């Protein structure tokens, strides 16, 4: 699916005038409604506002990519607007936003919209592309620019290399725009500097453009531009430069030059074997032990937290009231005992979900959760 498949002319406005961020969001949502994929306009607007409360989607360079995902969305779509005078958006670089793309994503297992979003984020890192969109005279020209650039980018990506000087991983908490923009920024800067570079993106739809064992072996350094935990086991013995995902977007030259300059004393990463055994194929998804440990690691907070809460309930309860109901005799004890019990109820669900995620990446998470819940509801034999 192409980007232009998700945008209709009715969902584009090239002459938006707004004085506040919220006013822009409201107008963008109205454009999205024109796409015919929103069941409840107010509910979708609340989703978009809630996402902005978590952190501004103004990613810098006068661009914003707000988005919302929920049951009120029937199918994925994109609305676009140009704001000639700009509007304050609390962007990462402090600049007003002049180009905005609003994303709508339904609550479904398909992640087509994420692939489209990754391509859109990648294209927006091209200054020439942004200027052409801002200067578009008509909606038809606006769509034509996107379609042409996307096609050119697709042809460029067909070229493959056997080895790279620098490898990298980008990842952000939401796994959407910043992940792909950081990757594109680093790759574009690599081209400008004449440095061969390959970036693996760990987004909502799983890892894309995966780094191979042979590529890792030949690379001079690894750049990790991420705001979430990234598995580093496969980089044992390599020079690893850690940075924030925003640095990948705004400081790609600095990161690449630092990674190549060995005098900067970038530390060589040494993986602790007792933390997690690595497999021969260079990743944690290679053997059963690592799959199980991924589940156990995420399950432990529920076990420990639930156990502590239940212990507190015993501490606060009055045994003399009803020994057979110890832990639930007083309201405060019952409160802690109930919450602790709920944590225990989630224990096996979390275990199953994250074992499945270790095996099948993010798409496996829903399989583990739903499969475990289904087994429990049907009183089937528990696989986990």
- Mean pLDDT in residue range 221-248: 89
Among 236, 181, 170, residue whose Cα is nearest residue 207: 170
Residue with tokens 């260079």: 282
Q: Active-site residues: which are they?
A: 67, 172
How would you classify residue 94: left for phi > 0, otherwise alpha for psi between -120 and 50, otherwise beta? left
- Mean pLDDT in residue range 306-322: 89
- Distance from C-alpha of 243 to C-alpha of 225, rounded to nearest angstrom: 5
pLDDT at 369 over 90: no
pLDDT at 200 over 60: yes
pLDDT at 274 over 60: no
Residue with tokens 């991420």: 226
Maximum alpha-carbon separation in the chain? 81
Residues in contact with 77: Cβ distance below 8 Å, sequence separation at least 6, in sequence order: 6, 7, 11, 32, 35, 37, 38, 103, 104
> Which residue ranges form the domains of the chain, and what is each CATH number?
3-113+120-155 (3.40.930.10), 166-264 (3.40.50.2300), 284-377 (no CATH)
pLDDT of residue 264: 59
Taking the model in full, what pTM does it have? 0.52
pLDDT of residue 372: 62
Name 268's bridge partners.
239
- Distance from C-alpha of 219 to C-alpha of 62, rounded to nearest angstrom: 34
Banded pLDDT at 83 (limits 50, 70, 90): very high
- Distance from C-alpha of 232 to C-alpha of 177, rounded to nearest angstrom: 23
Name 203's bridge partners.
206
pLDDT of residue 88: 93
pLDDT of residue 285: 40
pLDDT at 279 over 50: no
pLDDT of residue 205: 66
Torsion angle of C-alpha atoms 122, 124, 125, 127, degrees rounded to 10: 150
Yes or no: say if 226 and 208 are a contact pair by the CB < 8 Å rule: no
How does pLDDT run across 106-122, given as a tens digit for each residue?
Answer: 877 666 566 667 778 77
How does pLDDT run across 32-71, given as a tens digit for each residue?
Answer: 998 888 889 999 999 999 988 888 888 888 999 888 888 8
pLDDT of residue 382: 40
Residue with the bigger pLDDT between 213 and 264: it is 213
pLDDT of residue 111: 61
Banded pLDDT at 186 (limits 50, 70, 90): very high
DSSP letter string, 231-276: --GGGTTSBEEEE-HHHHHH-HHHHHHHHH-GGG-PPBP---TTT-
- Mean pLDDT in residue range 154-176: 72
- Distance from C-alpha of 2 to C-alpha of 151, rounded to nearest angstrom: 9
Yes or no: say if 182 and 174 are a contact pair by the CB < 8 Å rule: no
**Residue/partner pairs of 180-183 with CB below 8 Å, 24 or more apart:** 180/117, 180/118, 180/119, 180/121, 180/122, 181/59, 181/121, 181/122, 181/124, 181/125, 181/248, 181/249, 182/225, 182/245, 182/246, 182/248, 182/249, 183/122, 183/209, 183/248
Evaluate the CA torsion angle 151, 153, 156, 157 in order and state its sign.
negative
pLDDT at 157 over 80: no
Yes or no: say if 355 and 368 are a contact pair by the CB < 8 Å rule: yes
CA atoms within 13 A on the CB side of 368: 25
- Distance from C-alpha of 376 to C-alpha of 369, rounded to nearest angstrom: 11
Secondary structure letter of residue 38 according to DSSP: B
pLDDT above 90: percentage of residues in the chain:
29
- Distance from C-alpha of 232 to C-alpha of 211, rounded to nearest angstrom: 12
pLDDT of residue 135: 93
| Burial per residue of 136-163, b for 16 or more beta-carbon CB atoms within 10 angstroms, e otherwise | beebeebbebbeebbeeeeeeeeeeeee
């Amino acid at each position: 699916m192409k980007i232009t498949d998700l945008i209709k002319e009715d969902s584009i406005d090239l002459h938006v005038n707004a004085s506040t961020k919220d006013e822009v969001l409201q107008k963008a949502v109205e454009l999205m409604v024109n796409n015919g994929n929103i069941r409840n306009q107010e509910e979708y607007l609340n989703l978009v506002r809630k996402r902005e409360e978590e952190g501004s989607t103004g990613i810098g360079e006068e661009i914003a990519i707000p988005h919302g995902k929920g049951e009120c969305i029937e199918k994925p779509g994109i609305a676009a607007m140009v704001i000639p005078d700009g509007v304050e958006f609390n962007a990462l670089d402090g600049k007003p936003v002049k180009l905005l793309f609003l994303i709508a994503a339904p609550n479904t297992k398909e992640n087509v919209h994420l692939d489209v979003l990754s391509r859109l984020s990648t294209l927006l890192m091209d200054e020439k592309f942004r200027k052409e969109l801002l200067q578009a005279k008509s909606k038809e020209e606006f769509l034509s620019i996107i379609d042409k650039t996307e096609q050119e980018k697709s042809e460029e990506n067909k070229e493959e290399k056997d080895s790279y000087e620098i490898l990298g991983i980008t990842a952000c908490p939401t796994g959407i725009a910043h992940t792909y923009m950081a990757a594109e920024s680093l790759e574009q800067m690599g081209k400008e500097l004449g440095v061969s570079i390959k970036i693996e993106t760990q987004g909502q739809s799983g890892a894309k453009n995966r780094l191979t064992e042979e590529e890792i072996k030949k690379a001079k350094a690894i750049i990790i531009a991420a705001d979430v935990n990234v598995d580093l086991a496969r980089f044992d013995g390599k020079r690893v430069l850690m940075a924030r995902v925003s640095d990948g977007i705004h400081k790609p030259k600095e990161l690449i030059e630092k990674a190549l300059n060995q005098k900067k004393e970038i530390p060589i990463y040494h993986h602790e074997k007792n933390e997690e055994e690595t497999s021969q194929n260079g990743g944690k998804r290679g053997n059963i032990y690592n799959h199980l440990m991924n589940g156990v690691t995420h399950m432990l907070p529920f076990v420990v937290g639930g156990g502590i809460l239940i212990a507190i309930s015993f501490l606060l309860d009055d045994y003399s009231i009803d020994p057979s109901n110890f832990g639930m005799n007083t309201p405060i004890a019952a409160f802690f005992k109930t919450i602790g019990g709920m944590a225990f109820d989630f224990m096996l669900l979390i275990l199953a979900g994250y074992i499945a995620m270790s095996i099948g990446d993010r798409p496996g998470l829903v399989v583990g959760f739903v499969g475990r819940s289904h087994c429990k509801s049907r009183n089937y034999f528990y696989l986990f």
